[in-house]
Structure 1
Amino acid sequence: MIYKVYYQDTKVRNPKREQTHVLYLEAADEVAARAAVEANTPYNIEFIQALEGNHLAYEQENAEFTLTEF
């Protein structure tokens, strides 16, 4: 399944909506997605959203849609 991970670049500062970034990740489940991001980045994860069906198709039309591999 593909997950959309909302994150901040650092865990030091308080999260600000304007500084939220997104990455797309393929993983078995949400727990595996969180573990992969935490093990390979210094990011502060805000939210992980599963993408499927029409929502996934819409996100894939976005020019910024690329799957991140660690």
Structure 2
Amino acid sequence: MIYKVFYQELPYEVPVRERTKSLYIEADAEKDVRIKLKDRNYNIEFIHPLDPAHLEYEKQSEHFAVESV
């Protein structure tokens, strides 16, 4: 399953919408996403599993790229 992860680059940074970034990652569960991103030291705000319709919508974006971890 593909997950969309919303995060702040600095772990101590207060979440502010304008500075929130996102990435896409493939994993079996939300727990696996957190394990895969643990070494990046991100302040993860939200992890959203993408259903097939939402995934197709996200693929239309020029910024869509699934991270390989």
| Secondary structure of residue in 2 paired with 1:36 | helix
Unaligned 5+ runs, structure 2? none
Unaligned 5+ runs, structure 1? none
Deviations 1:16-63 (A, max 9, x none): 11100000000011110111112x302100000001211010001111
- Counterpart code for 1:3: Y
Structure 2 match to 1:65: 64
TM-score normalised per structure 2 = 0.93
TM-score normalised per structure 1 = 0.92
5 Å-filtered alignment, 1:7-46, equals 7-38=7-38, 40-46=39-45
Give % identity.
42
Give the count of matched residue pairs.
69
Q: Which runs of 4+ in 1 moved over 4 A?
A: none
RMSD: 0.9
Q: Would you say 1:50 and 2:49 are equivalent positions?
A: yes
Q: Would you say 1:3 and 2:3 are equivalent positions?
A: yes
Equivalent-residue separation in structure 1 for 2:62 and 2:45 (angstroms): 22
